[in-house]
Amino acid sequence: MIRRSPASVIRPDRQLTVPVVWCRLARMTDEATGRLLGRFVSAVEPVVPLVSVWAHGSLAGGDYRPGRSDLDLIAILGRPCTAAEERQLGEVHESLGRAIALASGLHCSYCAAGELDDLARVHLTWAHEEFMRRRVTPVTRRELHDFGLVLYGQAPAAVLPPVTGEQLAEFVVQDLESFWLPSLDHPELWDRDIWVDLGLLTLARATVTLRDGKLITKARALVRAYRARCPGRGCRGHQAAPVRRPRSGLTAVDRPPGGADAHLFAARDRTGPSALAALHRLIMLPMRAGAG
């Protein structure tokens, strides 16, 4: 696991060369990923008025697995993109995708610095090999402040407004209510491994966020989910049950005591009363805190 201080700076100024960028990243991840990120920054810089490029998600949090995890980036610009610049950015992403297999998982939101105060604003985003408009969510913003990885320019603290605990809790509850809770009415979804994996991890991460106001990584959430299923067995450090599914990006760090298999967390109550009750308890946490 990558260990670093909050908002670790890989490229603290604009004078470093691209080889320096990817060499430093290669020591923290792998050479192919480091080269891709260095090439991406060098390709984007002449196209738009680039202020900063940050990584969040698994790469910043230490859960990154080459070829399995997505590369989640935020590019901060001095102003919004023009139509011509948007076309050029699309060409950059398509060119990288043709040249480097890992680039298919590179997602980047392009945000004008002057528009970051608005949590509801949607920003130009390249994801799943096409452009769309997405918010930079309170979870992403908190990740950037807590452990964001700076690939270029200024650190998040210098540009990105902080997220309050209330804003973070409100977003987490809204996500549980609008997406995960209705999904329990569709049992067929929960016969797919990716739903079981991500659903239980989301539940574990949301529990910590709503109870303690903190974010935890997927690796820590996996340990929590394992301990919840097997309370008498425990895990050492960040060791967690193995998960084979590549799209979830949750490969095993180590096999926990007892040799749990890849379907440890896919218990038969996956869509039953226990999951429903757990979600309702989580959604009620902020209300109880306010009442107290």
- What does the pLDDT average to over 184-192? 84
Q: What is the per-residue pLDDT for 16?
A: 38
Residues 148 and 178 in one domain: no
User: Is the domain of 57 the same as that of 155?
Assistant: yes
Tell me the pLDDT band of 285, cut-offs 50, 70 and 90.
low
- Tens of pLDDT, residue by residue over 21-77, are 544 554 556 888 999 999 999 999 999 999 999 999 989 988 888 888 899 999 999
Among the three residues 144, 159, 174, which one is the final residue of a domain in this structure?
A: 159
**Has residue 127 been placed in a domain?**
yes
pLDDT on residue 192: 85
Highest mean pLDDT pick, 112-121, 173-182, 282-291: 112-121
pLDDT at position 267 is 37
The verdict on residue 60 lying in a domain is yes
Domain count along the chain: 2
Are both 235 and 253 inside the same structural domain? yes
Average the pLDDT over 258-277 and give the result: 41
Helix (H) or strand (E) holding 8: strand 8-9
What integer best gives the mean pLDDT of the chain? 76
pLDDT the model gives residue 120: 95
Residue range(s) defining the domain that contains residue 50: 8-159
Summarize the confidence of residues 101-108 as an average pLDDT. Answer: 95
Tell me the residue ranges of DSSP E strands in 71-159.
Answer: 71-77, 106-112, 122-127, 130-135, 149-153
Q: Is residue 112 part of a domain?
A: yes
- Whether pLDDT at 262 is above 50: no
- The answer to whether residue 2 is domain-embedded is no
Q: With 80 as the cut, is the pLDDT of residue 143 above it? A: yes
Q: Note whether 238 and 186 are same-domain residues.
A: yes
pLDDT tier at 113, thresholds 50, 70, 90: very high
Q: What per-residue confidence (pLDDT) applies to 156?
A: 96
Tokens linked to 84 = 């011509």
Q: In this structure, what are the phi and psi dihedrals at residue 75, rounded to the nearest 5 degrees?
A: -110, 125
Answer yes or no: do 149 and 170 share one domain: no
Euclidean distance between CA atoms 57 and 169, whole angstroms: 18
Same domain, 149 and 188: no
Residue 3 lies in a domain: no
Q: Are residues 120 and 193 in the same domain?
A: no
With respect to residue 115, please indicate whether it lies within any of the assigned structural domains: yes
Q: How confident is the model at residue 251 (pLDDT cuts 50, 70, 90)?
A: very low
pLDDT the model gives residue 67:
87
Helix%, strand%, coil% for the chain, nearest 5: 50, 15, 35
Does 124 lie in the same domain as 171?
no
Q: Which of 110, 128, 159 is the last residue of a domain?
A: 159
pLDDT surpasses 60 at 131? yes
Task: Work out the average pLDDT over 263-278.
Answer: 46
Share of the chain above pLDDT 90, in %: 45
Query: Does the residue 220 lie in any domain?
Result: yes
pLDDT of residue 55: 95
DSSP letters spanning 67-81? TTS-EEEEEEESSPP
Q: Are residues 170 and 133 in the same domain?
A: no
Q: Does residue 16 share a domain with residue 146?
A: yes
191 found inside a domain: yes
pLDDT score at 194 = 83
Per-residue pLDDT for 272 more than 60?
Answer: no
The reply to whether 124 and 214 lie within a common domain is: no
Domain boundary among 96, 129, 159: 159
Same domain (yes/no): 203, 113? no
Write the pLDDT tens digit of every residue in 198-248: 888 888 888 888 888 888 887 787 777 666 655 555 444 444 444 334 344
Residue 141's CATH number: 3.30.460.10
Residue 240 DSSP one-character state? B
Is the predicted pLDDT of residue 249 greater than 80, yes or no?
no
pLDDT on residue 281: 61
Residue 235 to residues 40, 93, 265, Cα–Cα distance (Å): 38, 40, 15
